[in-house]
Structure 1
Amino acid sequence: MKRTIAYFILLVTILACSSDFTESPAVGALSDQSLKNETGVNLLLTGAYSAIDGVRNNGFGEGWATSGDNWIMDVLADDAHKGSTDGDQPELYNIETMNWSSGSSYFLGKWGVIFAGVNRANAVIALINTIEEGDFSAQLAEARFLRGHYNFELQKMWGNVPYISEENYAATEFNQPNPGPIWDQIEADFQYAIDNLPTAQSLVGKPTAWAAKAFLGKAHLHQSEWDTAFTLLNDVVVNGPYDLLPDFVDNFRLAGDNSVESIFAIQFTTDDGQSYNANVQGALNFPNPGPFGSCCGFYQPTQDLLNAFKTDGTGLPLLDTYNDSDVNSDFAIDSSAPFTPFAGPLDPRADYTVGRRGIDYNGYGEHVGNDWIRAEYSDISGSYLPKKNVYWSGETANQATGGWGQQLSGVNYHIMRFADVLLMAAEAAVEKSSPDLALALTYVNRVRDRAKNSNYVQAVDGSGDAANYQIEPYTAFGDVASARAAVRFERRLELGMEGHRLFDLRRWGNFVEVMTEYATNEGRTITPFGQEVGTYEEKHYRFPIPVNAIDLSGGILTQNPGY
């Protein structure tokens, strides 16, 4: 599973660029009799898995946009800035400052790599449909799960996307229209996976029936189909094989790989020296220079995100007032100048999510401030560093160095983990036709209690906790409105910098409101950002369909409103 690039060069040769765009078939590949057997099916299936990390060489759009961990999506929300200098990756700068266009290389890159995954899954399904002997139900279920996942990603991002079926693939009819959402097809794939996948897999990284049920529940959640979502997600919580890890931070270290909390993950590794099996598309997102001379200073957490971790002195979050004051920022303060870290109460997850001055940075010692930051004081990205995606000091098995000296992580990325499912189930419990606030409270408090009972970041001088950490469970949800606010806020605290925030804001329908307020607040501490960011509009609930795709379709694809 992890060594797909190294072991399946033959597959890449067969598929070549065929799966890279909606109109490019794998000419002749499926007519090859040598593929009509278990070996051929498994080769193509491995190709469908291999697209999940976003690594590809199809030449469509910006390569850094394709990462399977969706870090770019956090830059489009209020969790992260692009990082680095404003002039490095200028198209990402344009996207963050809301200067979107249908010609963006970033949108094109993401579009191309996800359709590569769709087409590779279709290649498996179409091949199986031509084989008259043998039982390939397990491989078919895996392929349909993967196709469901890829189409789910397209749906979340563009809203109106073409659906490419296995029949379209086999007939090389890739030029399909995009009249609206494709939720029915996504649901059908996940339901087939539920019905045909085993409840456990002997090979790590493969989806199970329980994983498919969680994804189907999430698909209904995104459509505000609360009762159906609740039934599915609650079944996963109550009867599934998952649980929370004892320590929050282990989800972002080797201990969390394929653990009891992992539902479906990108399987990264560096243990065989093959750098392309690590998180290649996340190579920009390490401190520059930071504590170990890495590159390239992208993906910097926002002041807004750090402020969200403040608590009220009783261990509860400041749901409505967290931005009334700021956690002490060292933006535009030289490392040689005095600085006093924030002394107020904080959720302990803050310092496992945001790297800030005066606090240990993933075991590398005290974060020294702006000497570790590539962004200049005139840039829009501030003074914080990411932590969840950066491997820890001493864990050399998770580390690799690429061809130009970039750092690569071998720690898995959780596309979905159990804490996410708990909070989705809690949300559905609040919103369903007969709200169950007591159950929502229980599920939210499971997440908060885990954070409370985890190991906290320690002071570098050995004097105890690195900050004034205070977190407690809620005692009650008074009504639906208060429960809704608490559940939504908890998702940000638990899942910050994991690629989910943009899609949550979109499905809640408050993206424009939240982001407009965010821009004002963020500009208070990072003046350049406040000066450069544009206006958030209704059209930004969907990405523009890449103009290249529209042109190649001969006008069959239609543009999203507003672009």
Structure 2
Amino acid sequence: MKNYKLKVGALLSSALMMVAVSCSDEFLEVPATGQLAEAQLTTLAGLEASLIAAYSQVNGRGNRLASPSNWVWGSIRGGDANKGTDPGDFSTINPIQRFEINAASGEVGSKWNGAYEGIARSNNVLRLMMSKAGDVTDADVVRISAQAKFLRAHYYFELKRDYGNTPYVDETVDYGSGLEEISNTQDLYPFIETDLKYAVANLPAVPSQVGRINSWGAKALLAKVYLYQKKYPEAKVLFDDVIANGVTSRGDKYDLVENYGEMFRGANDNHKESVWVYQAAANTGSVNNANPEFDLNYPYNGGPAGCCGFFQPSFTFVNSFRTDASGLPLVDGSYNAAGNRVKNDQGMASKDAFTPDQGNLDSRLDHTVGRRALPYLDWDDHPGADWIRNQPNGGPYAPKKYIYEKDEIGKFQDGSSWTAGYTGMNFMMIRFADVLLMAAEVEVELGGLEKAREYVNRVRTRAMNSSLKREDGSLAANYKVGLYTAPWSNATAARDAVRFERKLELGMEGHRFYDLVRWGTVQAEMDAYFAFDGSILQAALGGAKFTDKYKLVPIPQDQIDLVGPDILIQNTGF
């Protein structure tokens, strides 16, 4: 495989998409073993296969922390969870959660390498169409180009959120010359917007295959990109359209799945809440078709997979699900106060008697977090410390979203790799509740406070009807979820309510850190998180602190070394 050094780093294209290098003497034109000639790739079949390769890189394969869930970069950095497990396992995550990474730290380049691989694959699709074969129609060119440009926009947006501005490379760059000196001084957002606008204009509402991006998914991502730039009027037009008229890739009208927990079941993949989704399949003969997204993030030493105890929900996150007498969240931040904390079994052995919390809780807690003595899907009740690898390091909780049920073994779970944690469950990068809450944010900023309340209450109504029950039909905990019944007339209070709802609804799904940064609240939130959780998990989080430079990840030092610091500019403070 040829390693193209574009002086933006090592952009690796898959063997599927590589074009054999030609010589001046025709008799020497022998394709390299394992590679395909350009003539094979410019046919309709070749272009479709190259496009699928661009889709497949959304998973970030080969770069574990390039995964679309952003479980480290979005959730752990945002305080939803800590690394968990044992301090010595995957230790390069330790400085990430403590905000102590530098440009040479391990995993700093994971998202960079994974995203640029996806960009290289997307660009290759677009480049191959310049020499399209006779069986490729003009309609095929538009259809395939729209998907490739959407994917390229997705990869650049991921880079933008983590690293700030990075070098922009499109299909016109000569990958083979190795002479390009591409800096990161250009703003990526105009390029991202251009690609997404093309996708919106040219993608079908219902694609030829379930799982391919459609025009509605492209509109949702473009609206999100506008939201990140505070282009509220532009975002509102798109959000309004998606909410009123949008359909999934199966043609179902977007809506909320009736029960919160049912969203994360393999049998319900591509349901009506699915807007932009990474596809996965189990037991196809290759584990590479399965989703390795959370293969480390299962309870340790029991239950599903039995490995490896990562991604443990934080105390602060769990306490956030406390509700008041009317069933509303404690938006003022008092959930960590002594009288409001959710009872837990930290420091207790599984053999010790334990009674779970009896206070008012939002039902979404127990579809998101595994807690002692409560049903863990259709497995046993969570036994506490016996399923926790290192309680003093990670706390007493286990993740619960995207964990397969016992009756999904062999169906939506793939046991053909080193761990039983690979699944056939899709991952939702944008789901309809996310769209509703982003739209609510926009309404607050544009003065539509009552419309924002309507959207938030729509999400909360689903939570009201999603109580976790035991086998005998009894409630697993004391769930009390209420609606905002009083009109919203104060923009500050409305803004706080919408933001808190995102924490509850989208927790452990990779959004939190990016939300805090764009809201400008990251310093205060992380100070509070480290003060509380750090006082309990002293070895893992004690003394950790967030500083402003960590709003971005440093540009990987090995990338700067390729071209020099005058070409690739390091982020401030690193």
TM-score under structure 1 normalisation?
A: 0.91
What is the DSSP-based 3-state SS (H/G/I as helix, E as strand, rest coil) of the residue aligned with 1:346?
Answer: coil
Q: Distance in 2 between matches of 1:250 and 1:322?
A: 27
What does residue 69 of structure 1 align with?
69
What does residue 467 of structure 1 align with?
477
Structure 1 position 376, deviation (Å): 4.1
Pick one of 186, 193, 197 that aligns with 1:191.
Answer: 197
What is the DSSP-based 3-state SS (H/G/I as helix, E as strand, rest coil) of the residue aligned with 1:243?
Answer: coil
After TM superposition, the structure 1 = structure 2 runs for residues 267-282 of structure 1, keeping only pairs within 5 Å, are: 267-282=279-294
What is the DSSP-based 3-state SS (H/G/I as helix, E as strand, rest coil) of the residue aligned with 1:65?
Answer: helix
Contact in 2 for aligned 1:309/1:347 (Cα 8 Å): yes
What is the DSSP-based 3-state SS (H/G/I as helix, E as strand, rest coil) of the residue aligned with 1:361?
Answer: coil
Structure 1 position 268, deviation (Å): 1.2
Would you say 1:519 and 2:534 are equivalent positions?
no
Q: Distance in 1 between matches of 2:406 and 2:5?
A: 38
Would you say 1:205 and 2:218 are equivalent positions?
no
Letter in 1 for 2:480: Q
What is the DSSP-based 3-state SS (H/G/I as helix, E as strand, rest coil) of the residue aligned with 1:416?
Answer: strand
Letter in 2 for 1:260: K
What does residue 168 of structure 1 align with?
173
Pick one of 405, 413, 426 that aligns with 1:412.
Answer: 426
Pick one of 395, 398, 412 that aligns with 1:385.
Answer: 398
Pick one of 535, 539, 544 that aligns with 1:528.
Answer: 539
Compared with structure 1, are the counterparts of its residues 508 and 430 closer, same or farther at alpha carbon in structure 2 (3 Å cutoff)?
same
Structure 1 position 259, deviation (Å): 1.1
Q: Distance in 1 between matches of 2:416 and 2:183?
A: 40
What is the DSSP-based 3-state SS (H/G/I as helix, E as strand, rest coil) of the residue aligned with 2:82?
Answer: strand
Contact in 2 for aligned 1:331/1:525 (Cα 8 Å): no
Q: Distance in 1 between matches of 2:115 and 2:564?
A: 21
Contact in 2 for aligned 1:273/1:400 (Cα 8 Å): no
Letter in 1 for 2:67: S
Structure 1 position 408, deviation (Å): 1.2
Structure 1 position 340, deviation (Å): 2.0
What does residue 413 of structure 2 align with?
399
Q: Distance in 1 between matches of 2:19 and 2:326?
A: 66
Instruction: For residues 112-135 of structure 1, give each alpha carbon's deviation from its aligned partner in whole angstroms, at most 9, with x where no partner exists.
Output: 011100110010111113338522
Contact in 2 for aligned 1:205/1:265 (Cα 8 Å): yes
Structure 1 position 290, deviation (Å): 2.7
Contact in 1 for aligned 2:59/2:67 (Cα 8 Å): yes
Q: In terms of mean alpha carbon deviation, does 21-30 or 507-516 score higher?
A: 21-30
Q: In terms of mean alpha carbon deviation, does 283-292 or 134-143 score higher?
A: 283-292
Structure 1 position 298, deviation (Å): 0.5
What is the DSSP-based 3-state SS (H/G/I as helix, E as strand, rest coil) of the residue aligned with 2:549?
Answer: helix
Compared with structure 1, are the counterparts of its residues 431 and 92 closer, same or farther at alpha carbon in structure 2 (3 Å cutoff)?
same
What is the DSSP-based 3-state SS (H/G/I as helix, E as strand, rest coil) of the residue aligned with 1:166?
Answer: coil
After TM superposition, the structure 1 = structure 2 runs for residues 55-204 of structure 1, keeping only pairs within 5 Å, are: 55-56=61-62, 63-73=63-73, 74-131=75-132, 134-135=137-138, 136-169=141-174, 172=177, 175-204=181-210
Structure 1 position 525, deviation (Å): 3.7
Letter in 2 for 1:388: K
Q: Distance in 2 between matches of 1:157 and 1:402?
A: 33
Letter in 2 for 1:489: F
Structure 1 position 174, deviation (Å): 5.5
What is the DSSP-based 3-state SS (H/G/I as helix, E as strand, rest coil) of the residue aligned with 1:482?
Answer: helix
After TM superposition, the structure 1 = structure 2 runs for residues 3-42 of structure 1, keeping only pairs within 5 Å, are: 22-24=9-11, 28-29=19-20, 32-42=38-48
Instruction: For residues 345-398 of structure 1, give each alpha carbon's deviation from its aligned partner in whole angstroms, at most 9, with x where no partner exists.
Output: 000000000111011011102111011001242x2x111000002111212211
Q: In terms of mean alpha carbon deviation, does 284-293 or 332-341 score higher?
A: 284-293
- Could you tell me the percent identity over the aligned residues? 39
Q: Distance in 2 between matches of 1:367 and 1:510?
A: 34
Letter in 1 for 2:381: E
Q: Distance in 2 between matches of 1:471 and 1:169?
A: 57
Q: Distance in 2 between matches of 1:538 and 1:398?
A: 42
Compared with structure 1, are the counterparts of its residues 235 and 463 closer, same or farther at alpha carbon in structure 2 (3 Å cutoff)?
closer
Compared with structure 1, are the counterparts of its residues 24 and 106 closer, same or farther at alpha carbon in structure 2 (3 Å cutoff)?
closer
Would you say 1:341 and 2:356 are equivalent positions?
yes
What does residue 479 of structure 1 align with?
490
Compared with structure 1, are the counterparts of its residues 246 and 37 closer, same or farther at alpha carbon in structure 2 (3 Å cutoff)?
same
Compared with structure 1, are the counterparts of its residues 16 and 417 closer, same or farther at alpha carbon in structure 2 (3 Å cutoff)?
farther
Q: Distance in 2 between matches of 1:494 and 1:174?
A: 44
TM-score under structure 2 normalisation?
A: 0.89
Q: Any unmatched runs of 5+ in structure 1? A: 1-14, 57-62
Contact in 1 for aligned 2:44/2:133 (Cα 8 Å): no
After TM superposition, the structure 1 = structure 2 runs for residues 290-305 of structure 1, keeping only pairs within 5 Å, are: 290-292=302-304, 294-305=306-317
Contact in 1 for aligned 2:104/2:558 (Cα 8 Å): yes
Structure 1 position 527, deviation (Å): 3.8
Contact in 1 for aligned 2:20/2:38 (Cα 8 Å): yes
Q: Distance in 2 between matches of 1:155 and 1:403?
A: 33
Q: In terms of mean alpha carbon deviation, does 422-431 or 286-295 score higher?
A: 286-295
Letter in 2 for 1:67: S
Pick one of 528, 539, 550 that aligns with 2:560.
Answer: 550
Compared with structure 1, are the counterparts of its residues 119 and 530 closer, same or farther at alpha carbon in structure 2 (3 Å cutoff)?
closer
Q: Any unmatched runs of 5+ in structure 2? A: 22-36, 248-253
Contact in 2 for aligned 1:151/1:186 (Cα 8 Å): yes
What does residue 296 of structure 2 align with?
284
Q: Distance in 1 between matches of 2:357 and 2:539?
A: 23
Letter in 2 for 1:422: L
What does residue 60 of structure 1 align with?
none
Q: Distance in 1 between matches of 2:20 and 2:216?
A: 33
Q: In terms of mean alpha carbon deviation, does 400-409 or 224-233 score higher?
A: 400-409
Contact in 1 for aligned 2:150/2:195 (Cα 8 Å): yes
Structure 1 position 188, deviation (Å): 0.5
Instruction: For residues 512-534 of structure 1, give each alpha carbon's deviation from its aligned partner in whole angstroms, at most 9, with x where no partner exists.
Output: 11101111121344343452x42
Contact in 2 for aligned 1:425/1:440 (Cα 8 Å): yes
What does residue 489 of structure 1 align with?
500
Would you say 1:243 and 2:255 are equivalent positions?
yes
Instruction: For residues 294-350 of structure 1, give each alpha carbon's deviation from its aligned partner in whole angstroms, at most 9, with x where no partner exists.
Output: 111101111111111110021110101222131012111111112221110000000
Q: Distance in 2 between matches of 1:55 and 1:69?
A: 13
Compared with structure 1, are the counterparts of its residues 17 and 352 closer, same or farther at alpha carbon in structure 2 (3 Å cutoff)?
farther
Structure 1 position 409, deviation (Å): 1.7
Contact in 2 for aligned 1:356/1:369 (Cα 8 Å): yes
Structure 1 position 402, deviation (Å): 4.0
What does residue 363 of structure 1 align with?
378
Contact in 2 for aligned 1:25/1:174 (Cα 8 Å): no
Q: Distance in 1 between matches of 2:358 and 2:377?
A: 20
Would you say 1:322 and 2:335 are equivalent positions?
yes
Letter in 2 for 1:472: G
What is the DSSP-based 3-state SS (H/G/I as helix, E as strand, rest coil) of the residue aligned with 2:225?
Answer: helix
Q: Distance in 1 between matches of 2:406 and 2:433?
A: 26
Contact in 1 for aligned 2:304/2:405 (Cα 8 Å): no
Contact in 2 for aligned 1:160/1:180 (Cα 8 Å): yes
Contact in 2 for aligned 1:520/1:530 (Cα 8 Å): no
Would you say 1:501 and 2:527 are equivalent positions?
no
Q: Distance in 2 between matches of 1:308 and 1:110?
A: 29
Structure 1 position 76, deviation (Å): 1.2
